[in-house]
Every structure is written in structure tokens, then in C-alpha cells.
């Protein structure tokens, strides 16, 4: 027999209280019955939101109670998809605040565009929900800080959608980096190049039927409707996201920081432009190089849209370049290539070792297990916050067109424009959460 997690926890709590042993943190029901169901709701149902929900539905202990989207077309289609999989139609909402009022929902998945992560996240934490939130956790450094604070304040279990963190081969690669065998690591390269992305300019149009465009814009500035700024394509506009620098940057820079045990850089330089794709189709640069300076190494980010030949003939990856050898890891696997100069006799090449391709399902499973055990998931809010801040800093250096220095103690840059973008200006009636 399966029981709802909240019901199970409630009865456990009553028993524990009766026995005088309840030492539970308020608002956090410690509960480890492996058979209890985790009841979930999805906010933002189109691309990655639904891809996540599909992995949730693969698990035996998940019940889907509700879906929320501001596009009725997406919402109705996804409702049918869920009904087909689960045999029961979920309740449907346009306004995420209504979904969050539901007492039976344990956890929410946030799959909205980046400008719409912070508010649902903070409200969900306030409502006592655990959260699986997509990356980058936010569209500004300030929002990242607010979200991490909310998760701490309300003691929530949070998994960020950086699913490589649950990948065995990624962890093997990082263990190798931490072993010190590569020698002094002087540079870490991170990159993503993508030939399948080639947006072209489009005319403004009327808003498609069934879409609440004002709600889709939410805290972002009011703009005429253009398909190039809407579903999926929002990622190429500063109002909603940060281009490939933050989109893929957080996945890969996360491992650079993890490997180097690093957090914020001392300074950041970035250059690039829209060399191949019309600025009317994509505001964020189609080509970009960012250099982060740390005390004893340099971190590079490189991206290009419209081509696919990246360093080491890989479309994306992380390369730790040491005095003895270079380790390269990507979603497919990892390997170690030896330096010829100063070759160490005891060091042997590690041939390419493939991943098992199960990183995403494992990531979802890790979250569900942590919802029950109250442990910290593999891609915690702190991990998501740290890397999103660093990726955002790349964009701030690019937009400031200047080398910028970060002052961690005073939480500011030595650059006026970069400082002005630390916190976004929310469009009324929305306002940045105050905690």
C-alpha cells in the first residue's frame, strides 16, 4: 500500500509527539518511509519543465497533482500527456500562486524562463514546498542571493537542474582532478558550441490565442510580442536570460569551480559579439570569450552559436590543464591526456571512459530521496547560486565592456554599469521578494 508523504509524516509526527520524542524542525517533516508518495506540481510545462516531470513520472513514488502554465495550449497538451502516463488528469492553473496554496503538494518543479525563477521559488519556499528549480537559478546575482536565503530561511530541500552533478563519470573526473595527478592546474577551459541554433529575425505579431503574455512577461519590461523572444528563444534576450554564457555556462563552469574548490573570481573580462547571427534575432552574443582571474589559475569560457567544432573536437566540455596532463570531461565521458614535456613516469593516460547516460534520472531520484530524508541534494541551492553568480559576472563584464573586479566583502564591482545590474528592476505589480 502507498501513502501520501504528508499523511504519513503527519501520523508519524502525532505518534512521535505522543511518545514525547518529536524534535522536528518546524515546517520540515522528517520522514523516511520509502513507500510514501511525493505529490508534485509543475510550474512552466513546455520544454525542460516537462522533461523533468517525465523523469519524475518514471519513479514509482510520484503523484502529479497539478500543472501551471500561462500558455493554455501548452497546459492542455501537457495535461493530456500526464493523464496518458498516470491515468489521472492533474488540476490546471494559470497562476502559480494558486497552485502553491494547495496543501497536498509536497514539491514543485520550476521550469519557467530564467526571469520567472525567483518569485515562484521564494513563494514556494514560503509555502513549505520543496523545490526542483531549473538552472541558471536566476537572471541576476541579486536574485541568486535572495533565493538561497529563502531556501535557508524556510529550511527547504532544493535540487537545481544541473543534473551532471548526479553523473558518475563527472564525479570520477573530479575525483581525479582532486587527486593532484594533473600537477599544478594553471587553466581551466569551459566551452559550448552549437550549430543547430540559427535564429533569424521575425516580425512582431499579435499574441497567440490562449497565451497570457502579460503574465509571461511578469517582472520583465513590457515589449511587443515577438516569437523570437517567446518559448525557448527567450534565452537570447537580457530581459529574460543570459544567452549561452549562463544557459550552458552554469552546467560546465560548475565543474570548473568544483574541481578547483573555487567560488567567486577576483576579476572578469569578456569580449565577443553578434558576428554570425543578426542582432534582431538574438541580443546576447553569438560568439563570446570570458576570462575569470583567480589567485592561482585562470578560468576561460568560450561559446559560439551556428558552428560545432569546439576545443578537443568536442561541442562542449571542461578541460583542466595541468603541468603533467590535461583532463577533459563532457556529457559523453572523460579522459586524461599526458603532457610530453616533463612527463611523469608514474602517470598513465586515462582512455575515454563513457558515462552511463543516466545522469538526469539519477538527479531526479536524488531529489525525491532527499525530500524524504531531508538531506541536501547533489546540486544544492548553494551550488546553483555560486555558479549562476559566476556565469552572470561573465555577462556583466561583457555588457560593461570593461575588465571588472569583484569585491566580495562589499558585494559590488568597481564598475557602475555592472553594479546597476546586480539587482533587476521588476515591473509592477511584481516586486523583488524581501526576506
Ligand X SMILES: NC(=O)c1ccc[n+]([C@@H]2O[C@H](COP(=O)([O-])OP(=O)(O)OC[C@H]3O[C@@H](n4cnc5c(N)ncnc54)[C@H](O)[C@@H]3O)[C@@H](O)[C@H]2O)c1
Binding site for ligand X (CB under 6 A): 43-49, 68-71, 74, 96, 111-114, 116, 134-135, 161, 163, 215-216, 218, 231-232, 247
Rank residues 2 and 425 by Cβ distance to ligand X and give the closer one: 425
Rank residues 45 and 404 by Cβ distance to ligand X and give the closer one: 45
Rank residues 301 and 406 by Cβ distance to ligand X and give the closer one: 301
DSSP 3-state of 60: coil
Compute the least distance from the CB of residue 304 to ligand X, in Å: 18
Does residue 325 contact residue 347 with C-beta atoms inside 8 Å?
A: yes
Rank residues 37 and 115 by Cβ distance to ligand X and give the closer one: 115
Rank residues 9 and 100 by Cβ distance to ligand X and give the closer one: 100
Rank residues 44 and 90 by Cβ distance to ligand X and give the closer one: 44
**Cβ count within 10 A of residue 404:** 22
Residue nearest to ligand X (CB): 47
The cell for 329 is 570531461
Residue 361: burial class (beta carbons within 10 Å; 0-12, 13-18, 19+):
middle
DSSP state of 419: H
Compute the least distance from the CB of residue 376 to ligand X, in Å: 19
The position carrying cell 537570447 is 236
Compute the least distance from the CB of residue 316 to ligand X, in Å: 11
Compute the least distance from the CB of residue 69 to ligand X, in Å: 4
**Cross-strand partners of 337:** 326
Compute the least distance from the CB of residue 265 to ligand X, in Å: 22
Residue 231 makes CB contacts below 8 A (sequence gap 6+) with 46, 47, 71, 74
If phi over 0 gives left and psi between -120 and 50 gives alpha, with beta otherwise, what is residue 261? left
The position carrying cell 497565451 is 211
Compute the least distance from the CB of residue 164 to ligand X, in Å: 9
Task: Please spell the DSSP secondary structure of 152-219, one letter per residue.
Answer: HHTT--EEES-GGGG-HHHHHHHHHHHHTTT-SEEEEEEEEEESS---------PPPTTB-HHHHHTT
Compute the least distance from the CB of residue 303 to ligand X, in Å: 14
Distance of alpha carbon 316 from alpha carbon 309, whole angstroms: 9
Residue 328: burial class (beta carbons within 10 Å; 0-12, 13-18, 19+):
buried
**Closest of 31, 35, 89, 36 to residue 65, by C-alpha:** 89
What are the angstrom distances between the C-alpha of 118 and each of 55, 165, 182?
A: 23, 22, 39
Rank residues 43 and 304 by Cβ distance to ligand X and give the closer one: 43
Rank residues 232 and 423 by Cβ distance to ligand X and give the closer one: 232
Rank residues 37 and 78 by Cβ distance to ligand X and give the closer one: 78
Compute the least distance from the CB of residue 194 to ligand X, in Å: 12
Rank residues 250 and 291 by Cβ distance to ligand X and give the closer one: 250
Compute the least distance from the CB of residue 215 to ligand X, in Å: 6
Identify the H or E element spanning 336.
strand 333-338
DSSP 3-state of 119: helix
If phi over 0 gives left and psi between -120 and 50 gives alpha, with beta otherwise, what is residue 410? alpha
Compute the least distance from the CB of residue 314 to ligand X, in Å: 17
Distance of alpha carbon 396 from alpha carbon 391, whole angstroms: 9
Amino acid at each position: 500500500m502507498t501513502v501520501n508523504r504528508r499523511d504519513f509524516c503527519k501520523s508519524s509526527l502525532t505518534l512521535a509527539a505522543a511518545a514525547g520524542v518529536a524534535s522536528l524542525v518546524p515546517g520540515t517533516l522528517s520522514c523516511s518511509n520509502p513507500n510514501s508518495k511525493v505529490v508534485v506540481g509543475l510550474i512552466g510545462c513546455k520544454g525542460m519543465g516537462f522533461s523533468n516531470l517525465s523523469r519524475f513520472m518514471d519513479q514509482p513514488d510520484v503523484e502529479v497533482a497539478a500543472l501551471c502554465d500561462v500558455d493554455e495550449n501548452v497546459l492542455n497538451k501537457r495535461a493530456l500527456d500526464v493523464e496518458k502516463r498516470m491515468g489521472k488528469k492533474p488540476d490546471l492553473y494559470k497562476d502559480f500562486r494558486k497552485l502553491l496554496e494547495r496543501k497536498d503538494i509536497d514539491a514543485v518543479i520550476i521550469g519557467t524562463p530564467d526571469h520567472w525563477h525567483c518569485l515562484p521559488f521564494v513563494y514556494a519556499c514560503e509555502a513549505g514546498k520543496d523545490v526542483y528549480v531549473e538552472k541558471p537559478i536566476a537572471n541576476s546575482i541579486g536574485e541568486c542571493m535572495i533565493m538561497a536565503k529563502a531556501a535557508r530561511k524556510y529550511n527547504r530541500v532544493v535540487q537545481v537542474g544541473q543534473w551532471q552533478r548526479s553523473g558518475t563519470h563527472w564525479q570520477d573526473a573530479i575525483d581525479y582532478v582532486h587527486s593532484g595527478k594533473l600537477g599544478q592546474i594553471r587553466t581551466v577551459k569551459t566551452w559550448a558550441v552549437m550549430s543547430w541554433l540559427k535564429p533569424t529575425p521575425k516580425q512582431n505579431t499579435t499574441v497567440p490565442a490562449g497565451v497570457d503574455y502579460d503574465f509571461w512577461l511578469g517582472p520583465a519590461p513590457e515589449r511587443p510580442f515577438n516569437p523570437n523572444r517567446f518559448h525557448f528563444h527567450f534565452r537570447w534576450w537580457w530581459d529574460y536570460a543570459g544567452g549561452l554564457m549562463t544557459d550552458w555556462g552554469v552546467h560546465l563552469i560548475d565543474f570548473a569551480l568544483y574541481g578547483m574548490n573555487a567560488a567567486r573570481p577576483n576579476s572578469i573580462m569578456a569580449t565577443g559579439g553578434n558576428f554570425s547571427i543578426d542582432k534582431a534575432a538574438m541580443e546576447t552574443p553569438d560568439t563570446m570569450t570570458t576570462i575569470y582571474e583567480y589567485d592561482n589559475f585562470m578560468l576561460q569560457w568560450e561559446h559560439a552559436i551556428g558552428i560545432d567544432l569546439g576545443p578537443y573536437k568536442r561541442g562542449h566540455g571542461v578541460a583542466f590543464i595541468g603541468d603533467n596532463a590535461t583532463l577533459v570531461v563532457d556529457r559523453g565521458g572523460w579522459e586524461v591526456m599526458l603532457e610530453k614535456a616533463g612527463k611523469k613516469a608514474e602517470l598513465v593516460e586515462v582512455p575515454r571512459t563513457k558515462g552511463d547516460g543516466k545522469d538526469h534520472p539519477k538527479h531526479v531520484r536524488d531529489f525525491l530521496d532527499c525530500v524524504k530524508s531531508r538531506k541536501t541534494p547533489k546540486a544544492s541551492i548553494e551550488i546553483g547560486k555560486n555558479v549562476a553568480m559566476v556565469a552572470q559576472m561573465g555577462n556583466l563584464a561583457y555588457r560593461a565592456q570593461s575588465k571588472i573586479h569583484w569585491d566580495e566583502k562589499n558585494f559590488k564591482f568597481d564598475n557602475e554599469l555592472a553594479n546597476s545590474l546586480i539587482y533587476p528592476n521588476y515591473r509592477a505589480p511584481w516586486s523583488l521578494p524581501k526576506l
